[in-house]
Amino acid sequence: MSTSATECIFCKIVSGEIPAPHLASNADAIAIADISPVAPTHYLILPRRHEANAIALHRSEPEAMTAIFALVDTLITQSGLSDYRLIFNTGEEAGQSVFHAHLHLIAGRPLSWPPG
């Protein structure tokens, strides 16, 4: 599945066309709260660049992955989190519904393993 950047909801959040408070940001990525949280803490870290998934982003702009993880560092430090899960859903079968790469940061309750 692919979505053009002009139709992409996360591109619209990055550009500000759809308002969403930035919890943290840097030159290549922003962090927002997930609109439908699955745990007490559920953040999304979005690269500013539109790529369909994490590996496409890694291939086209590897420094954006560093920028994403820098925001994870900021968020866990700000929130005092030591126990959390980081997830890049990739492909519909793996649960991806927005085809603009994004990292889920989930915490605040016991998280089962293996995932469903």
Contact flag: residue 10 with Zn ion (CB under 5 A): yes
The angle at the Cα of 81, spanning 11 to 115, to the nearest 5 degrees, equals 70
| Residue 95 Ramachandran class (φ > 0 left, ψ -120 to 50 alpha, else beta) | left
Q: Which does 20 bind (CB under 5 to 8 A by kind): ligand AMP, Zn ion, none?
A: ligand AMP
**List 22, 42, 100, 102, catalytic entry:** 102
Bridge partner residues of 107 (DSSP) = 41
According to CB under 5 A, which residues from 85 to 104 bind Zn ion?
A: 100
| 102 given a catalytic annotation | yes
Binding mask 41-80 for ligand AMP (x = CB under 6 A): ---x------------------------------------
- With b for 16 or more beta-carbon neighbours within 10 A and e for fewer, the 56-72 pattern comes to bbeeebeebbebbebbb
Tell me which residues touch Zn ion (CB under 5 A). 8, 10-11, 50, 100
